[in-house]
Amino acid sequence: MATPMKARDTFPKLKMYIDGEFVDSASGDWFESFDPYTAKPWCLIARGNAEDADRAVKAADRAFTSGPWPALNASQRGALLRRLGDLVAENAERLGELEVKDNGKLLSEMAAQLRYAPSFYHYFAGLADKIEGAVIPNDKAAFTYTLHEPLGVCAAIIPWNSPLLLTAWKLAPALAAGNTVVVKPSEYTSASTLEFVKLIEQAGFPKGVVNVVTGFGPEAGQPLIEHPLVRKVAFTGSDRTGAHIYSEAARDIKRVSLELGGKSPNIVFADANMDNAVKGAVSGIFAATGQTCVAGSRLLVQRSVHDEFVERLVDFARTARMGNPMELDTQVGPVTNLPQYKKVLGYIDVAKGEGAQTVLGGGKAQRPECGDGWFVEPTIFTGVRNDMRIAQEEVFGPVLSVIPFTDDDEAVAIGNDVVFGLAAGVWTENIRRAFTMARRLQAGTVWVNTYRALSYTTPFGGYKRSGLGRELGQEAIREYLQTKSVWISTAEEVANPFVVG
């Protein structure tokens, strides 16, 4: 899919951001970023490698250890973050449009995300000067207290589905805690991050506190996670890359937090409000074209209402308007990149091969309003058994597997019978069942009578193979801090120096 050199010359060229400057890559190479709606490239991104990663990490390390950043007090850090949040709010629409151009998600969704993003900066801005240590009662002749200190340089490795929101989830607590950061956006969606980083400068952060290295995972990401000066890696993406990062981090005993997607059960009981449950099932899997870590990709439906529920679901999902993600009434946009498009279509074939029945969609979308874009028809399979690959593996696309169950015990057994545990949904009007299911499901988030709800105040992360650590809420800032215990002796004299006691 090589683009003629002449056309390429007209594309905007987006540079990396290191030590307060927009710079070319060390190699001088560029790579194309695509618009998924047209399946055509539209801009060039600097192709980073180990040399660029090293420059960025060293700049971040200098900013952490010297200059104005470590001299700021926590309230001053909070003030900078608050200003950054205000600037994101002022630029929300523009940044949202840029994200749509690069990742093909709906403008209605990305604009809403960008309007919400300032709240994450504001929340952690407020938390910056509320990180309190403790005075610890001590059985020795000593006054003991704790300090919660930043870790150093953090690498934030970001996927393509919600680039600026997921950057905010890492950047805001990392900076509130006093760290410095190197961001590595996805090779499929780097443009919005390079625009956003201008706001960091405008907000008044000292140079080197936030850097952006662009490029491919193995070329620009790998040297970051290997770099000895990086003290923490915060990652959102595939479980495979997450596992790789975890093992690489082990060599230098780096901290990691990992958010790795899932195969979340969305469970509909016969006593549910059916209108709401149908909407919840649709938003669980077709919103964002199914490209969310929390996608409710396994729909568990109680047998007594199974056929009726599936009929209503199919009738509703069938009406979804596909097309240009920039148009506000579009409901399902394209898949973000070509490998993902092929992966989703591949899983549709897998499901058919496993004997699942296609009751909606089941292939690429060949509608005039979809043009040449990477569109997949909203797809629903029934007759899925939980041991099929389509029920066990993350598809990350608009593909729903419907699995029947008989009673609560069976719903829990099927719901938990996957390697993942990011989220789960429960639809019931029975309060006792709501509490019991919330306790029994192995997931970092359980939603009752809603789906995909998130807030900056509420911890988010995975059980089991879905990840490690928590983002958002007060817990998140702990991921970017380490505890120091300080002992001040109150003894008149040092006792026997040969005996520890």
Q: Residue numbers of the site for ligand NAI (CB under 6 A)?
A: 157-161, 184, 186-187, 217-218, 221-222, 225, 236-238, 241, 244, 259-261, 293, 340, 343, 394, 396
Task: Please say whether the beta carbons of 93 and 195 come within 8 A.
Answer: no
Number of residues that bind Mg ion (CB under 5 A): 4
Among 25, 33, 180, 289, binds Mg ion (CB under 5 A): 33
CA distance to 17, 24, 26, 91, per residue, from 54 (Å) = 13, 14, 11, 31
- By beta-carbon proximity to ligand NAI, the closer residue of 218 and 353 is 218
The nearest distance, CB 193 to Mg ion, in angstroms, is 12
Among 52, 61, 99, 102, binds Mg ion (CB under 5 A): 102
Please give the torsion angle defined by the CA atoms of residues 36, 243, 174 and 49, in that order, rounded to the nearest 10 degrees: -60
The nearest distance, CB 117 to ligand NAI, in angstroms, is 16
237 touches, from Mg ion, ligand NAI, none (C-beta below 5 to 8 Å by class) = ligand NAI
Q: Produce one character per residue of 170-198: b if its CB has 16 or more CB atoms within 10 Å, e if not.
A: bbbbbbbbbbbbbbbbbbbbbbbbbbbbe
Checking 322-326 for CB contacts under 8 A at 24+ apart, the result is 322/365, 322/367, 322/369, 322/370, 322/375, 323/367, 323/369, 323/370, 324/37, 324/369, 325/37, 325/100, 325/104, 325/105, 325/106, 325/107, 326/37, 326/97, 326/100, 326/107
**Site residues (CB under 5 A) for Mg ion, limited to 40-69:** none
The nearest distance, CB 235 to ligand NAI, in angstroms, is 7
The nearest distance, CB 189 to Mg ion, in angstroms, is 5
Supply 173's token pair: 């607590």
186 touches, from ligand NAI, Mg ion, none (C-beta below 5 to 8 Å by class) = ligand NAI
Q: What phi and psi, each to the nearest 5 degrees, are found at residue 33?
A: -115, 140
Task: Considering the candidates 293, 370, 394, 471, report the single residue annotated as catalytic.
Answer: 293
257 touches, from ligand NAI, Mg ion, none (C-beta below 5 to 8 Å by class) = none
- By beta-carbon proximity to ligand NAI, the closer residue of 109 and 259 is 259
The nearest distance, CB 392 to ligand NAI, in angstroms, is 13
Rg (CA), the chain: 24
- By beta-carbon proximity to ligand NAI, the closer residue of 226 and 410 is 226
Task: Please say whether the beta carbons of 462 and 262 come within 8 A.
Answer: yes
190 touches, from ligand NAI, Mg ion, none (C-beta below 5 to 8 Å by class) = none
Point out which residues pair with 16 in neighbouring strands: 23
Q: Report how far residue 296's alpha carbon sits from residue 298's, in angstroms, rounded to the nearest whole number.
A: 6
214 touches, from Mg ion, ligand NAI, none (C-beta below 5 to 8 Å by class) = none
159 touches, from Mg ion, ligand NAI, none (C-beta below 5 to 8 Å by class) = ligand NAI
Catalytic-residue membership of 293? yes
- By beta-carbon proximity to ligand NAI, the closer residue of 183 and 403 is 183
34 touches, from Mg ion, ligand NAI, none (C-beta below 5 to 8 Å by class) = Mg ion
- By beta-carbon proximity to ligand NAI, the closer residue of 236 and 428 is 236
The nearest distance, CB 224 to Mg ion, in angstroms, is 21
For CA atoms 123, 241, 400, 187, give the dihedral sign. positive
Listed ranges 57-65, 187-195, 215-223, 454-462: which one lies at the site for Mg ion (CB under 5 A): 187-195
**HEC letters along 364-401:** ECCCHHHCCCCCECCEEEECCCCCCHHHHCCCCCCEEE
- By beta-carbon proximity to ligand NAI, the closer residue of 225 and 412 is 225
Sheet holding 21-23, edge to edge: 21-23, 16-18, 210-212, 180-184, 153-157, 230-236, 255-259, 467-468
The nearest distance, CB 2 to ligand NAI, in angstroms, is 21
The nearest distance, CB 152 to Mg ion, in angstroms, is 32
- By beta-carbon proximity to ligand NAI, the closer residue of 122 and 263 is 263
- By beta-carbon proximity to ligand NAI, the closer residue of 152 and 221 is 221
Task: Considering the candidates 187, 259, 377, 394, report the single residue annotated as catalytic.
Answer: 259
Q: Report how far residue 161's alpha carbon sits from residue 163's, in angstroms, rounded to the nearest whole number.
A: 6
The nearest distance, CB 42 to Mg ion, in angstroms, is 8
Using CB positions, name the residue nearest to Mg ion. Answer: 102
Listed ranges 4-12, 185-193, 236-244, 301-309: which one lies at the site for Mg ion (CB under 5 A): 185-193
Q: Report how far residue 174's alpha carbon sits from residue 168's, in angstroms, rounded to the nearest whole number.
A: 10
For residue 41, the 8-state DSSP code is: E
With CA atoms as reference, report the closest residue to 237 among 173, 291, 276.
291
CA distance to 264, 341, 447, per residue, from 347 (Å) = 17, 10, 27
Among 30, 34, 205, 309, binds Mg ion (CB under 5 A): 34
- By beta-carbon proximity to ligand NAI, the closer residue of 225 and 310 is 225
Point out which residues pair with 405 in neighbouring strands: 302
Listed ranges 183-191, 285-293, 371-379, 462-470: which one lies at the site for Mg ion (CB under 5 A): 183-191
Q: Give the N- to C-terminal CA distance of the chain in Å, as an integer.
A: 71
102 touches, from Mg ion, ligand NAI, none (C-beta below 5 to 8 Å by class) = Mg ion
Task: Please say whether the beta carbons of 67 and 179 come within 8 A.
Answer: no
Question: Which residues are catalytically annotated?
Answer: 259, 293
Residues near Mg ion (CB under 5 A) are 33-34, 102, 188
